[in-house]
Amino acid sequence: MMKTFCGRTNPTSGALDWVESEEDYHQEIARSCYADMLHDHDRNEKYYQGIRAAVARLKARDERVVVLDIGTGTGLLSMMAITAGADFSYAVEVFKPMAEAAQCIIQKNGFSDKIKIINKHSTDVTVGPDGDMQEKANLLITELFDTELIGEGALPSYEHAHQNLVQEGCEAVPHRATVYAQLVESELLWSWAQLQSMEVEGARLVPPPAIGHCAGAHSVCDIQLSQVPPACFTPLSPLCTMFSVDFSKPVSSASQSHSSKFVAQSGGRAQVVLSWWDLDMDPSGTIVCTMAPSWMYPQPTMAPWRDHWMQSVYFLPVESQVAPGDELSLTVCHDDYSLWYSLQSLSQKEVQSESPPSRPCCTCQAHLVWTRPRFGELNDRRRTESYVSALRNVLSEDSVCLSVSDGSLLPVFARMLGAKKVFSLENSRMSKKVIEQVLEANSMTGGVELLEIRPEQLSSQDVGEEQISILMGEPFFSSSLLPWHSLSFWYRRTAVAGLLRPSVTILPCSASLHMVAVEFQDLWRIRAPCGTCEGFDVTPMDEMVQRSLDFRESREAEPHPLWEYPCRALTQSAAVMTFDFTRCVPQQPISSQGSLPFIRNGRCHGVALWMEMHLTDDITVSAGLTRPITEQGDCEWTRHRKQGVYFFRSPWESSGDGRTAVSYSFTFEPSLGDIKMDFSQCTSVSD
């Protein structure tokens, strides 16, 4: 067992701490996407079909089949190749824990004499009598792709392989990749890219010009696009074929651009590009593995589910108006690791220079401070109305407010509502600058004082000897991962207790932790045991690796944006812990126990957990469910925050008659700022 250092959010301080972990590398494997890939039967089947066809073509030419498998993972694709008749495979895996696991797997399945694991990056592999490979390969098999296709360095790896590791005219599986894109207008998606104007008590809060003119962050927004209904966007273009890469021929990692001309099929605001890709596993394109979202299928329910490859959303640098019939050109550019898009009318394109658009870069800093879900949260009108209503209820003309959230607009709202003075603690200089821009754009620089200081360092001199009458927070903290990390607000409230008036108003006044037992439609696959792959007679998981994937022994929840992962509630939802922010953080642990009867039949994969903030006695903001669970158990989750998911080691069967229940135990440890939890299946108390 080796010790490792892991980054963990410290809720008591809001900082990221590096802690020594006693867990061995099995945990590293468990938290990767290997289980998801091994459960992707469509992917496995298409790869196996392509490999068998490629081996057959080489054998038909009387060639000895030598495989180079880059990014072998568990060794599955190499084992497929040997089973299909290949003579030998060099399986390259740079991630040491996975390379060691792959060695055990191929040994267990009897392939040790025909597969060599090479624990290196493929660009460091050598060929020759004393090299890692004795000879160059004539069959190149790879799984180097991410949601953006090239984000894991596929192009440099292919370029090096063709120059150094494979024969000229080799076969490749996959043979070809093709990238597709569609231009759309979408109020929902665009809200993730730009801060929008909003109404506050009859006054308009406008975004700073610098944010509106900024091209935004260059990184891809990868999501389960199948969960964005077609009603949420308007297609302005047909589906465009942007470019293809033939992996059987030399590949260049140099920056390139490709354009697709089209006639606008409808009018609207050109804002967003939806993109995905296909893999042709054979030269004829008869074996295709597509990443298209489910609504592109004639029968959406037949679309394969996968989480290791999703779809991409790209935001144009600026939105532009498009009329039906406009002749346009959509351009995609890429370097060796990322893609970006731009739009031109054909008349504009003729007079513009031939140099491709440069990669978008944030110049306003807001896109570095706020994530895309955070932009969506700030633009959520209903949520804004809740905070404004709560502030209106507690503010008076002599109110002195202190905000302890990260990059929050609450100080701006408080000033607009007439607070005498507003102080705001900002976690970074960059965050402070962004809020300063908002204040300047709305001519409010004199009423809000931004302090780049930690709560425990705040003194009465910093707030002008004023006593704080309203302490507020959303609460949002950029370092938070799990829902209860928002309890950092409680610790900050405690740190500044000496500066608060005896009659201080705390907003939110309390919070509650909620849970519901659920059956996931697909998310369960990422933590499900992996046995024999369907349609292929090898076991990709041996006992060691299976233990890796069964990481739930650690009794920890993990964060997931559940709006992307449909689930069905098998119990009622319930508040299982409450936290009173009007008091300081207690020194002793807080515990809660109980049970929730199963009221619907199904397979219970685990528990969903979220926080609800009670701004006042009658105004609550949920970071989980956005509406009551339906009679069928359907859940609707906020798109702005991740929820906690605690997976059970194996699914529990529920008959839905209330005879069995989920028994829970929660303990909040004030010294750690964390919540320990345990669940078990029991006979319902009501039985």
Active site positions, annotated: 143, 152
What distances in angstroms separate CA 455 from CA 167, 468, 479, 481, 580, one per listed residue?
Answer: 63, 13, 16, 21, 19
Q: Which two tokens stand for residue 320?
A: 């532009």
Question: Are the beta carbons of 224 and 311 closer than 8 angstroms?
Answer: yes
Single out the residue of 186, 507, 151, 78 nearest to residue 336, CA to CA.
151
Classify residue 163 by burial, with Cβ atoms within 10 Å: 0-12, 13-18, 19+: exposed
User: How far is 512 from 498, CA to CA, in rounded Å?
Assistant: 25
Sign of the CA dihedral with 502 first, then 503, 506, and 512 last: positive
Q: Which two tokens stand for residue 273?
A: 């590009």
One-letter amino acid at 397 equals E
Expressed in percent and rounded to 5, the helix, strand and coil fractions of the chain are 25, 35, 40
Question: Are the beta carbons of 70 and 157 closer than 8 angstroms?
Answer: yes
Region of 13 on the Ramachandran plot (φ > 0 left; ψ -120 to 50 alpha; else beta): alpha
Single out the residue of 498, 311, 305, 472 nearest to residue 399, CA to CA.
472
Q: Which residues pair with 279 in a beta bridge?
A: 177, 289
- The helix or strand, by DSSP H or E, that contains position 240, with its residue range, turns out to be strand 240-246
Please report the DSSP string for 307-362 in residue order: SSS-EEEEEEEEEEEE-TT-EEEEEEEE-SS-EEEEEEEHHHHHHS-SSPPPPP--
Question: Are the beta carbons of 367 and 217 closer than 8 angstroms?
Answer: yes
User: How far is 274 from 619, CA to CA, in rounded Å?
Assistant: 37
Q: Which positions ≥6 away from 430 have C-beta within 8 Å?
A: 365, 368, 369
Single out the residue of 462, 465, 512, 453 nearest to residue 484, CA to CA.
512
Question: Are the beta carbons of 34 and 73 closer than 8 angstroms?
Answer: yes
Separation of first and last alpha carbons in the chain: 46
